[in-house]
Amino acid sequence: MSVIVDILSWLAILSGSAFLIIGAWGTVKFPDFWSRLHAVSVTDSAGMLLLMLGMCLQAGFTLITVKLIIIAIFLFITGPTATHAVANAALVTGLRPKEGHGLVSELESPTVPSPTAPEVKS
Amino acid sequence: MRSIGVAIALFALWLLMSGLYYKTLVTGLGAASAIFAVYMVRRMDAVDGDQLEINLNPFKFFTYNIWLFGEIAKANWAVTKLIVSGKPLNQHLFYTPYTQRTDLAQVIFANSITLTPGTISVETEPGRFLVHAVDFSESDHEALADMDARVTATEGGA
């Protein structure tokens, strides 16, 4: 029985670590700010949840599991909020995605008109 | 009295965080700190009549979370493939309308958009969110409308 739990928790921890590495790789590899945010969110959701699941399985029915679940819930709420704050700050300062179609014209009213929209340098 | 409830909840949280020692002194100090925190907050006059209303159907919210985990798994796989395969990105900024009445449900919808990799809610405006997608396709509109309907369904009546 404990062997099965061990195998499951190792699977969760290893795949979570793999998602962390892939997210980090994507963060380096993607071309601009906006796409890098998406690569980070892979680390944020899959990596974090799988690692927490693996650690919960290792800890068993103890108070440590309760703490891990509480940590996971807090990260689950604060993670997207932080991402939203960063993305919103980028939008307000006038940063726009480099690739894609007709992006700037589709935004009728940016929240703060930025006279000096910084150019994205690759 | 709400203060007593708050003190009990704080003490329960303290017990969960510190572990059960079954030592009278340690546990007593924990209870004393919980009561002192409530006393301090009352003195600071922060316990006002302002009540936070949680207009959520617990059962529907639970099933929504299960569905959301599935969506996160699918979206994660899509973004992972995008990173590994290295095919060109198709980024897009677009508006998606929301139909939730309460602030809490709107926050849940916006956070759900951001939690699923591949889409990020960038800006909130009355009646709609500005969403950035890293690999945009026309089906994203339908997927977000589906998520919007599901979040609205978790709102309690009245």
CATH classification of the domain holding B139: 3.30.70
**Do residue B14 and residue B72 come from a single domain?**
no
Nearest chain B residue to A26, by CA: B83
Mean pLDDT of A27-32: 82
Residues B33 and B102 in one domain: no
Are A80 and B76 within 8 A, CB to CB? no
Does B138 map to a domain? Answer: yes
- Find all residues with CB under 8 Å of B119, minimum gap 6, and list them: B75, B113, B131, B132, B133, B134, B140, B144
**Residues A26, B83: C-beta atoms closer than 8 Å:** yes
Residue B98 within a domain:
yes
Structural domain includes residue B128: yes
- Residue B18 falls inside a structural domain: yes
Residue B52 lies in a domain: no
A87: chain B residues, CB-CB within 8 Å: 120-122, 132
B96: in domain = yes
Same domain, B29 and B72: no
Q: Would the CB atoms of B80 and A63 count as touching at under 8 Å?
A: no
Considering chain A, what percentage of its residues have pLDDT values greater than 70? 79
B51 within a domain of the structure (yes/no): no
Residues B34 and B75 in one domain: no
- Check residue A14 and give its pLDDT: 92
Mutation site, A41, A50, A75, A101, interface B, largest B CB count within 10 A: A41
Same domain assignment for residues B38 and B66? no
Number of folded domains that form chain B: 2
Read off the pLDDT of residues A52-65 as tens digits, 9 standing for 90 and up. Answer: 889 888 888 888 88
Check if the interface score ipTM surpasses 0.95.
Answer: no
Stated pTM of the model: 0.75
Q: Are B105 and B148 in the same domain?
A: yes
Q: Is residue B19 part of a domain?
A: yes
A66/B16 touch (CB, cutoff 8 Å), yes or no: yes
- Which residue of chain B is at minimal alpha-carbon distance from A70? B17
Confidence of residue A114 (pLDDT cuts 50, 70, 90): very low
Q: Are both B89 and B126 inside the same structural domain?
A: yes
CA-nearest of A4, A35, A31, A16 to B93 is A35
The parent domain of residue B66 ranges over: 58-154
Beta strands in B75-158 (DSSP E): 92-97, 119-125, 128-133
Contacts of A102 in chain B (CB under 8 A): none
* Six-digit token string for A22: 């892939």
Based on the fold, state whether residues B30 and B98 are members of the same structural domain.
no
- Find the residue in A nearest to B136 (Cα): A100
Is A119's pLDDT higher than 70?
no
* Segment A50-104, tens digit of pLDDT: 898 898 888 888 888 888 888 888 888 888 888 888 888 888 887 776 655 444 4
B73 & B143 share domain: yes
Residues B96 and B131 in one domain: yes
What is the pLDDT averaged over residues A7-25?
A: 90
Count the Cβ atoms, other than its own, within 10 Å of residue A105. Answer: 7
pLDDT, position A67? 86
Half-sphere exposure of B152 (CA within 13 A, CB side): 11
CA distance A18 to B55: 38
For residues B70 and B135, state if they share a domain.
yes
B76 shares its domain with B148: yes
Check CB contact under 8 Å for B79 and A67.
Answer: no
